[in-house]
Amino acid sequence: MEDHGSTALRRLIEAQRDALVETHARLGDATALVERGQVAALLRFLRDDPDCGFDVLTDLTAVDYLGETPRFEVVYHLFSYTNRHRLRVKTRVPEEEPEVDTATGLWPSANWLEREVYDMYGIRFREHPDLRRLLLYEQFEGHPLRKDYAKERRQPLLGPRN
Amino acid sequence: MAQPSHLRELLKGDLGEADLERDLHTEHQILNMGPSHPATHGTVKFLIELDGENVVDMDVQVGYLHRGFEKECESGAWYQAIPYTDRLNYNSAVLANVGYCLAVEKLLEIETPERCQWLRVLSGELARLADHLTRCGAACLELNSFTPFIYGLEARELTWDLIEMLCGARVTANYIRIGGVKHGMPSDFPGVARGSVSKIHELLDDFGKIVTSNRIFVDRLKHTGMLSKEDCIRYAVTGPLARASGLPYDLRKDEPYLVYEEIDFDVPIGEVGDNYDRYLVCVEEMHQSLRIIEQCVERLEKLGPGPVNVDDPRVRWPAKDGVFNKMEELIGQFKSVTEGPRVPKGEAYAAVESANGELGFYVVSDGSAVPVKVRCRPPSLINLQPLSVMMRGALLADIIPTFDFINMIGGECDR
């Protein structure tokens, strides 16, 4: 496993080697692929370790690789104001048990972003304080950004609720 | 004989000394605001818990403008997503074009020509100017002052005229291409732009004279909607909102892309992070954008006409005379239109400083002509999340200016 010149990846390899599956820095984006069970501890390390110091969760999203196992990938984009560097952390999530630990305790910005991922992909975030759909309505059936959700599929129109 | 007044009896009972101490048995009220409220220029619903006029808690419900941006992008060619990005933040459409194209170019590993980069900066700054004008103008309008809004609109009209002259359309410009821009700068553009820039400076000054030290305006904005620097970091807030809270971070300066390194401009920083600071930061950013526009025009004049697209067969559209006279070019054109570029397998994240903050695009390709994933990191959504933090304990009426200066744009927030 290589650090590709990134301080954050070097620290991760030193301290959290067991949690890492793979690292790369293709196109200049330092990336770490992480075991799903250890993602919460690793994110906490990334936030609290002074050399990493990732105080901002810039973005959180997921990708559906239909046909691969594990099927989903949850992607975190981190940024550090103190050290001015970025890191992408990814973890694979299986279709049978689409669950990851929440990051809301580390960064409040994760709240809506995790709700959106749940809304769009049906990935549940364990111990999320308020895991409702974010963009769609609660009667919506299915998770539209999954690759097996047909783009043409229509949902029933609902009238106003009083 | 007249009867003793019943009313007096009642009053005596109610206003007795002991009763003054009595609790009035008020209870919190739940108020629905939106999704279509005249004072919020965006389709969003607030569920507010009120104690009298004070906000105890609120739930912000977004998604009314969701139209499946990412799903649409995942079902077309790479270049077909560009018009959709126009419709994210329709106040500053070009900036989203630039962000998306930079991400795809990162995957393709192409470097665009210098002229193209200056044109991107120029069109992007015009878009930022239009966005800030809308934000400040609409904020005045929603605080019931119509005249400054008209000054803002007049300046925005001039800006949109420039965008139309440069890009061919006023609002959804669709000007940026993967590997370039649609066309170069028209030869009469510099003259018109210089005239408009000085006129916009004047209009901004007039605008400032009406509102910047206007007692009512200042009272409505000062110390309302405060967000601390620490909360900005915790909630990943970026853009003018974070800079108003004293966070000196601007992607144009800190992670310079395109040609921003060569451009001379300042980044205004606020102190306390209230709505008034946000207003001042936005106004100063408009002056700085005008400065950047002047420098772009000057440089583009010096560069003169020439190629504005990268000469890479994967993304280049063949010139028309080639298409009509050469078989290979005709085939190339056919492939470009029906299929578009095949982007190498991989993933990339590229971000630009949009009018609202960090507008990032995370794109994933499996090597085919259709994206696996186009994720837009929407600053509107992420900046809106701490609204409930800003509003806790505040007056109901303060929601309006705070929401204005967050500048939530439904198209980008809900995608």
Q: Is the dihedral of CA B112, B114, B115, B120 positive or negative?
A: positive
Assign residue B92 a region (left: φ > 0; alpha: ψ between -120 and 50; beta: otherwise). beta
pLDDT digits (tens, 9 = 90+) for B182-206: 888 888 999 999 999 999 999 999 8
What is the nearest CA distance from B174 to chain A, expressed in angstroms? 24
Give me the pLDDT at residue B5, please: 63
Task: Grade residue B130 by pLDDT with cuts at 50, 70 and 90.
Answer: very high
Residue B383: its chain A contacts at CB < 8 A?
A: none
* Strand segments (E) across B3-53: 29-33, 45-51
Name the residue in chain A with its Cα closest to that of B386. Answer: A109
Q: Are B344 and B365 in contact (CB under 8 A)?
A: yes
Residue A154: its chain B contacts at CB < 8 A?
A: none
The alpha carbons of chain A give a radius of gyration, in whole angstroms, of 17
HSE-up of residue B387 (Cα within 13 Å, Cβ side): 29
Task: Grade residue B411 by pLDDT with cuts at 50, 70 and 90.
Answer: confident
Q: Report the range of poorest mean pLDDT among B198-212, B307-321, B342-356.
A: B307-321
Task: Grade residue B308 by pLDDT with cuts at 50, 70 and 90.
Answer: confident
Question: Which residue segments constitute the domains of chain B, with CATH numbers given?
Answer: 60-66+112-313+383-414 (1.10.645.10)
Residue type, B15: L
Residue of B36, B71, B374, B383 to mutate when probing chain A, most A C-beta within 10 A:
B71
Q: Is the peptide bond before B35 cis (omega within 30 degrees of 0)?
A: yes
**Where do we find the tokens 């090597």?**
B367
Give me the pLDDT at residue B4, please: 61
Judge whether B63 is closer than 8 Å to chain A, CB to CB: yes
**Percent of chain B at pLDDT exceeding 70:** 94
Residue of B75, B107, B347 to mutate when probing chain A, most A C-beta within 10 A:
B347
Closest C-alpha to A118, from A131, A100, A136: A131
- The residues, ordered by sequence, that sit 6+ positions from B143 with a Cβ below 8 Å of its Cβ are B216, B217, B220, B400, B401
Residue B373: its chain A contacts at CB < 8 A?
A: 61, 63-64
Give me the pLDDT at residue A91, please: 93
Kindly give the interhelix angle for B114-142 and B93-108, rounded to the nearest 10 degrees.
150
Average pLDDT, chain B: 87
pLDDT digits (tens, 9 = 90+) for A98-122: 999 999 999 999 999 999 999 999 9
Q: Token pair for residue B196?
A: 């408009």
Judge whether B248 is closer than 8 Å to chain A, CB to CB: no
Per DSSP, B342 falls in state: P
pLDDT digits (tens, 9 = 90+) for B276-306: 999 999 999 999 999 999 999 999 888 888 8
Residue A149: its chain B contacts at CB < 8 A?
A: 71
Mean pLDDT of B323-341: 85
Residue of B36, B349, B392 to mutate when probing chain A, most A C-beta within 10 A:
B349
The beta-carbon neighbor of B349 closest among A29, A134, A145 is A29
pLDDT digits (tens, 9 = 90+) for B357-396: 999 999 999 988 899 999 999 999 999 999 988 888 888 8
Average pLDDT, chain A: 87
Q: Using an 8 Å CB-CB cutoff, list residues of chain A that contact chain B.
A: 26-27, 29, 31, 55-59, 61, 63-65, 75, 77, 81, 84, 88, 107-109, 111-113, 116, 120, 133-137, 144-145, 149, 151
Judged by CB atoms closer than 8 Å, whether chains meet at B382 and A113 is answered as yes
Residue A103: its chain B contacts at CB < 8 A?
A: none
Mean pLDDT of B205-217: 88
Q: Is residue A4 predicted with pLDDT exceeding 80?
A: no
Which residue did the predictor score with more confidence, A159 or B230? Answer: B230
The beta-carbon neighbor of B106 closest among A27, A111, A149 is A27
* Strand segments (E) across B35-154: 45-51, 54-61
CA pair distance A95, A92, nearest whole angstrom: 10
Closest C-alpha to B212, from B280, B152, B130: B280
The C-alpha angle B182, B253, B315, rounded to 5 degrees, equals 25
Q: How many other C-beta atoms can be found within 10 angstroms of the C-beta atom of residue B198?
A: 12
CA pair distance A123, A143, nearest whole angstrom: 9
Q: Token pair for residue B292?
A: 């950047």
Residue of A23, A60, A76, A77 to mutate when probing chain B, most B C-beta within 10 A:
A77
Closest C-alpha to B232, from A139, A74, A56: A56
CA pair distance B256, B259, nearest whole angstrom: 7
Q: Is residue B242 predicted with pLDDT exceeding 60?
A: yes
How many helices (H) does chain A have, and how many strands (E)? 3, 7
Q: Is residue B10 predicted with pLDDT exceeding 80?
A: no
**Percent of chain A at pLDDT exceeding 90:** 34
* The pairing of beta strand B29-33 with beta strand A31-34: unpaired
Residue of A54, A85, A116, A135 to mutate when probing chain B, most B C-beta within 10 A:
A135
Judged by CB atoms closer than 8 Å, whether chains meet at B381 and A75 is answered as no
CA pair distance B179, B331, nearest whole angstrom: 20
Helix (H, G, I), strand (E, B), or coil: what is residue B69?
A: helix
Q: Token pair for residue B269?
A: 């920083």
Cα-to-chain-centroid distance, residue B402: 15
Judge whether B76 is closer than 8 Å to chain A, CB to CB: no
**Where do we find the tokens 């390390």?**
A45
Residue A120: its chain B contacts at CB < 8 A?
A: 70
Residue A144: its chain B contacts at CB < 8 A?
A: 68, 71
Mean pLDDT of B119-140: 91
CA pair distance B101, B124, nearest whole angstrom: 13
Mean pLDDT of B4-25: 60
Q: Are B356 and B409 in contact (CB under 8 A)?
A: yes
Judged by CB atoms closer than 8 Å, whether chains meet at B377 and A59 is answered as yes
Q: How many other C-beta atoms can be found within 10 angstroms of the C-beta atom of residue B110?
A: 17
Q: Token pair for residue A153?
A: 């599929």
- What is the number of CB-based contacts under 8 A between chain A and chain B? 84
Give me the pLDDT at residue A161, please: 66
Give me the pLDDT at residue A67, please: 86
Give me the pLDDT at residue B6, please: 65
Per DSSP, B395 falls in state: B
Name the residue in chain A with its Cα closest to that of B247. Answer: A81
**Where do we find the tokens 């807030």?**
B237
pTM: 0.87
The beta-carbon neighbor of B63 closest among A59, A81, A135 is A135
Give me the pLDDT at residue A125, please: 92
* Strand segments (E) across B21-91: 29-33, 45-51, 54-61
Q: Is the peptide bond before A70 cis (omega within 30 degrees of 0)?
A: yes
Distances (CA, A) of A21 to A44, B83, B146, B173: 18, 38, 59, 43
The beta-carbon neighbor of B385 closest among A31, A75, A112 is A112
What is the nearest CA distance from A94 to chain B, expressed in angstroms? 18
Which residue did the predictor score with more confidence, B393 or B12? Answer: B393
Residue A88: its chain B contacts at CB < 8 A?
A: 347, 349
What is the nearest CA distance from A75 to chain B, expressed in angstroms? 10
Closest C-alpha to B383, from B223, B208, B204, B227: B227
Judged by CB atoms closer than 8 Å, whether chains meet at A109 and B373 is answered as no
Q: Is residue B9 predicted with pLDDT exceeding 70?
A: no
Q: Is residue B335 predicted with pLDDT exceeding 60?
A: yes
Assign residue A28 a region (left: φ > 0; alpha: ψ between -120 and 50; beta: otherwise). left
Domain positions in chain A are 7-126
Candidates 3.40.50.880, 1.10.40.30, 3.30.460.80, 2.40.50.140; CATH matching A7-126: 3.30.460.80
Name the residue in chain B with its Cα closest to that of A77. Answer: B349
Mean pLDDT of B322-332: 85
Mean pLDDT of B51-76: 88
Judged by CB atoms closer than 8 Å, whether chains meet at B373 and A63 is answered as yes
Judged by CB atoms closer than 8 Å, whether chains meet at B372 and A63 is answered as yes
